[in-house]
Chains A and B, each alone.
Chain A
Amino acid sequence: MNFALLWHFVRQDFTDRYSGVALGRAWLLLTPLVQILIFIVIFGELIGPRLPGSQGGAYGYGIYLVSGILPWTAFANTISRMTTVFFDKRSILSKVSLNLTMVALHIAIVEGITLACTLGLFTLIALVLQVPLSAGLLALPLLIVCQQLMAFSFGLIGAILMVFLRDIKEIVGVVMMLWFWLVPIVYTIDSVPHIIQAIQVYNPAWWFVREYHEIFLNGAVPDAGRMLILFAGSALAAGLMIRLLSYSEHHIRDAI
């Protein structure tokens, strides 16, 4: 894989978004900043449930919400953008021979970098608000990588199916919408019926959201065993999907 070219695609994505815009890449941080502050202030101070114990400090529920929404946004964006990536890049794909895996991967990397920036911002804000955090923060880079590997795998499913059914783009949108409500991001895991709690063990999104809660809400270090399983699982899934992609390459290239 041509890493120099992959890096070009990543950089192009950022410059495309912000080229010609006056404040340019400052928007990368401005929009999430406003979003984080809104969530923390409104849901932390004004409305929203009180979390048991001293989770998340004085702004408990606000912190809980943001620590789940930021990773989920990156996850969902990665999947929906990857679903259409081959069609979005068709003007280049139909003229130059490119590694399809590389083209798909750049989306996951772009969203991963964006997530890292917004999480960095969130950490700063949390520290300012004296939310108790610990060395668990050091696990964040690995967590982001695991999450994005998982998103990459699901995204590839979408990208391959897109060739057969254009509806997939809309279906993925609806699926992500529904999935959002199946993950304890807005609600806490102990506040829902037992059946919802029981299915979480099968919910890949919960596997990484749970660790974000550990880091930001409990101020703890995520369990090493769980992290290892998470990493192994997402790497395996990514590997399988890349294999599937190479089988479908013929169809994809013809359809573009």
Chain B
Amino acid sequence: MITVEHISKHYRIYRRQSDRLRELVLRRKLHEVKIALQDIHFTLEAGQVLGVIGRNGAGKSTLLKLVMGVILPDQGSVMLSGRVTGLLELGTGFNPELTGLDNIAFNAALLGMTPPEVEQKRQAIIDFSELGAAIHDPVRTYSSGMIMRLAFSIAIHAEPACLVVDEALAVGDAHFQQKCMRRIKDFRDSGGAILFVSHDMNAVKVLCDRAIVLEEGAAVFSGTPDQAVNYYNRLIADMETQEMSLPRPAPLSTPLSDEAQNNSYGTGAVKIQGTRVAGLISGGAIVSSGEVADFVFDLVAAETVPSVTLGIMIRDRLGQDVFGTNTFHLKCPLSFSAGERRTISIRMAVNLAPGQYTLTAALHDNDNHLTHCYHWCDNLMAFEVAGYIGTQFAGICRLEPGVYMNDGSLE
């Protein structure tokens, strides 16, 4: 399907456009070389889904463009068999003045469909997009969701041998996103190959068979999606601690960011100095649903405090409180003497739905922060739940159900 053989790509950065010409004439080097990709090599067969993850600027989009033929490699070659359709952007070539119906033909032709094919699939495309009568309105009256629906509908009907997807599925309402996901899965199941670039670690884990991690143009890891996500996570965590350049002997905990400092208040008798989330399997802040993780806090006391309670609250991306507890309710009384440093961790199975979460923590006495609040930090740290260990579920959390038959036996 797609064979990428040792491709490399570098860009020449000129300070001025005219330097390109002057370089040729004067035969002097007037550019800086920026290496976008180094020696990338993989094959993608029918029915396989390969995920590509990496930080911004790692070369993911460049790789996709090279595979699609939008740019040409400096070394190596890309071999394609069968039609390769790219979803690098939805609605390429849409003319806002024309109706949705008129735009189908051009966009479909750009994606590689022949005129008879377009004719044959036109009705199916319209039906899938769920635009109804709006298909006869000019595209400039469409909302971004409607454009996305039409564009995706055209693309998915291109029936390529291989689909190349670059974050194009990030828009649209939940219903349509699910519809798209189902179609993509059907595509995969009927033998299509997919090259999938995303920052959505959950989608990568759920959809892909293999994944590679790109870092500064090189493929630094190749393996199962779970392994790749863990590797990626360690990569970015290392980068954050390096940026902090701490002299402290707490190598893995992230100290409070400036933002977290601003969001914190309290008497300061005992303070949270650093924190980290570490899944036992993943080792980092991107954990699978159901994975046991440690929520680790580095504490330091400025004075002697006899009664200290550490409380945490996990909030979802909407700020909704999902789960909270504290060491008082967990029957774990703490006390600190002046100058004492201690690391405490709360360990639990993160039976939460995939998504982005934040951690809020507080130090106070007894069972709540209303009497003496030593340190309260809102949104101390963010972590992500991606992928599932065990059964999938819907909603916010997994309640560990069991099914029982009428006669009382456990199914």
Interface residues of A (CB under 8 A from B): 2, 4-5, 8, 12, 15-16, 19-20, 91-98, 163-167, 249-251, 253-254
Most chain A beta-carbon contacts within 10 A, residue among B12, B17, B24: B17
| Chain A binder among B91-99, B177-185, B233-241, B302-310 | B91-99
User: Contacts of A15 on B, CB cut-off 8 Å?
Assistant: 95, 97-98
- Report chain A residues within 8 Å CB of B131: none
B251 within 8 A of A: no
A159 to B: closest C-beta gap in Å: 15
User: Secondary structure of the A side of the interface?
Assistant: helix
Q: Name the residue on B nearest A167 (C-beta).
A: B18
Name which residue of chain B comes closest to A249, CB basis: B72
Report how far A2 CA is from B92 CA in the complex, Å: 18
- Please tell me if B115 contacts chain A, counting CB pairs below 8 Å: yes
**Which residues of chain B are near A254, meaning CB under 8 Å?**
11-12, 71
B88 lies within 8 A of chain A by Cβ: yes
User: Using an 8 Å CB-CB cutoff, how does the interface string of B361-372 with A read, 1 for contact, 0 for none?
Assistant: 000000000000
Report the interface size class on chain B: 20 to 34
**A16 CA / B102 CA spacing, docked (Å):** 12
B-side contacts of A96, CB under 8 Å: 68, 70, 86, 88, 92-93, 110-111
Residue in B17, B71, B72, B93 whose beta carbon sits within 8 Å of that of A166 in the complex: B17
A152 to chain B, nearest CB (A): 22
A4 to B71, CA, bound (A): 23
Known: A12-B106, A92-B110, A95-B86. A164 touches B21 (CB 8 A): yes
- Residues from chain B with a CB closer than 8 A to the CB of A164 are 17-18, 20-21, 24
Q: Which residue of B lies closest to A97 (CB)?
A: B69
Task: Pick the 5 closest A-B CB pairs, nearest first.
Answer: A97-B69, A19-B97, A164-B21, A95-B92, A164-B20
CA separation between A91 and B69, bound complex, in Å?
A: 15
Provide the residues of chain B in CB contact with A93, threshold 8 Å: 70
Chain B residues whose CB sits within 8 angstroms of the CB of A20 once the complex forms: 97
Among A8, A15, A92, A97, the one with the most B-chain Cβ atoms within 10 Å of its Cβ is A97
Expressed in whole angstroms, the Cα–Cα distance for A95 and B89 within the complex equals: 7
A16-B21 contact given A250-B72, A254-B11, CB 8 Å threshold: no
Assembly CA distance A91 to B110 (angstroms): 13
Give the residue of B24, B68, B98 whose beta carbon is less than 8 angstroms from that of A97: B68
B109 within 8 A of partner (CB): yes
Q: Whole-angstrom distance from the CB of A246 to the nearest CB of chain B?
A: 11
Chain A: minimal CB distance from B196 (Å):
17
Minimum CB–CB distance from B97 to chain A (whole Å) comes to: 4
Give, as a whole number of angstroms, the nearest-CB distance from B297 to chain A.
47
